[in-house]
Amino acid sequence: MLLQDAIEGDFGPELIFYQTNELKLKIPALPRPTLEEVRAKFPMITAIEIDTSPERAVSMALSTVTISRHNGISGKQYRRVIMMNGGFTLGYQHCRWLHQNQSSFTALSALRGKFAIHFPGIKMVDARGERHFPSLIANKTVWEEFPTVLMGGFHYGWDLRVATVEKVGLFGCR
């Protein structure tokens, strides 16, 4: 079973996200951000294209979009995967909350420097028309927030995780 077949719909979206069990955190109910709130952190953003991130309290899990038998997926495939799975990928408000509360979670601290965490529940647009979503990227001492460009030309491997709602009978993650 190839990942490309799953992405194109031949095997269903449940083959897309795999929860890694590396981290599970409770995040309180948080409202979706306004454009002004986003621009305060990322001034290059000119619009919020779509925000399907949950506003209710969630149990966050980390998921991967690659399958162990494959080296990764292309940026185009990754973009398609996250666009298909709106509603249970976390967004800007969750990224901000984790950034602000990172010192409260030893399990999160232990993962610093191992991979980036993407929050593609919100798609933001800059003046050039490039789409972005927030990410936490860490060195060995602290997680920092960055706007990740949603590109089609590069290869995603095992060095990232997607912040998702922990699976409790939800569509699209396994």
The pLDDT value given to residue 87: 60
Mean pLDDT within 92-99: 94
* Gap between the Cα atoms of 76 and 120, Å rounded: 14
Q: What are the structure tokens assigned to 36, written together?
A: 């002004």
pTM reported for the whole predicted model: 0.78
pLDDT on residue 79 = 66
3-class SS of residue 83: helix
| Per-residue model confidence as pLDDT tens digits over 11-29 | 344 345 677 888 899 999 9
Under 8 Å between Cβ of 44 and 128: no
Which tens digits make up the pLDDT trace of 110-159?
998 888 898 988 989 999 998 888 989 887 788 888 777 765 434 444 46
- AA identity, residue 11: F
